[in-house]
Amino acid sequence: MDHFQYRQGRLCAEDVDLEDIADSVGTPAYVYSTATLERHYRVLSEALAPVAPTICFAIKANPNLAVIATLARLGAGADVVSGGELATALAAGVPAGRIVFSGVGKSADEMRAALAAGVLQINVESEPELELLDRVAREMGLRAPTALRVNPDVDAHTHDKISTGRCEDKFGIEWTAAHRIYARATSLPGLDLAGVAVHIGSQLTDVGPFREAFRRLRDLVFMLRADGLVIRTLDLGGGLGVPYGNEDDGVPTPADYAAAVADTVGDLGCRILFEPGRMLVGNAGVLLTRVVRIKEGSTRTFVIVDAGMNDLLRPALYDAWHNIVPAREPESSAEWSDVDVVGPICETSDTFASQRRMPPLAEGDLLAIRTAGAYGRAMGSAYNVRSLTPEIMVAGSRFALVHERVSVDDMLARQHLPPWLVSRPSALTGSTIVPAAGKARSG
Which residues neighbour 425 within 8 Å (Cβ) at sequence distance 6 or greater?
Answer: 431, 432
CA–CA separation, 360 and 334 (whole Å): 7
| DSSP percent split of the chain into helix, strand, coil, nearest 5 | 30, 25, 45
Q: Which of 74, 87, 142, 162 binds ligand LLP (CB under 6 A)?
A: 162
CA–CA separation, 244 and 416 (whole Å): 43
Please, what is the Cα angle at 149 between 41 and 124, to 5 degrees? 105
106 binds ligand LLP (CB under 6 A): no
Q: Which of 318, 328, 365, 383 binds ligand LLP (CB under 6 A)?
A: 318
Q: Count of residues binding ligand LLP (CB under 6 A)?
A: 21
375 binds ligand LLP (CB under 6 A): yes
CA–CA separation, 138 and 107 (whole Å): 16
CA 410 to chain centre: 25
| 56 catalytic per annotation | no
Q: Which of 98, 278, 322, 403 binds ligand LLP (CB under 6 A)?
A: 278
Cβ closest to ligand LLP, residue 317 vs residue 440? 317
252 binds ligand LLP (CB under 6 A): no
Stretch that binds ligand LLP, among 2-10, 221-229, 235-243, 358-366 (CB under 6 A): 235-243
Pick from 121, 112, 133, 145: nearest CA to 56: 121
CB of 423 to ligand LLP, least distance (A): 44
Stretch that binds ligand LLP, among 212-220, 274-282, 299-307, 397-405 (CB under 6 A): 274-282
Phi-psi region of 367 (alpha: psi -120 to 50; beta: other; left: phi over 0): beta
Pure H helices in 187-229:
208-226
342 binds ligand LLP (CB under 6 A): no
Q: Give the C-alpha distances (Å, rounded to integers) separating 48 from 26, 44, 58, 214, 254.
A: 40, 6, 17, 15, 8
237 binds ligand LLP (CB under 6 A): yes
- In the sheet where 4-7 sits, what is the strand order? 4-7, 10-13, 16-17
239 binds ligand LLP (CB under 6 A): yes
Pure H helices in 152-253:
178-186, 208-226
279 binds ligand LLP (CB under 6 A): yes
59 binds ligand LLP (CB under 6 A): no
Cβ closest to ligand LLP, residue 102 vs residue 289? 102
CA–CA separation, 161 and 140 (whole Å): 37
Cβ closest to ligand LLP, residue 280 vs residue 358? 280
Stretch that binds ligand LLP, among 234-242, 300-308, 322-330, 359-367 (CB under 6 A): 234-242
79 binds ligand LLP (CB under 6 A): yes
203 binds ligand LLP (CB under 6 A): yes
CB of 11 to ligand LLP, least distance (A): 23
Q: Mind telling me the catalytic residues?
A: 346
Q: Which residues bind ligand LLP (CB under 6 A)?
A: 58, 60-61, 79, 102, 162, 199, 202-203, 237-239, 275-279, 314, 318, 374-375
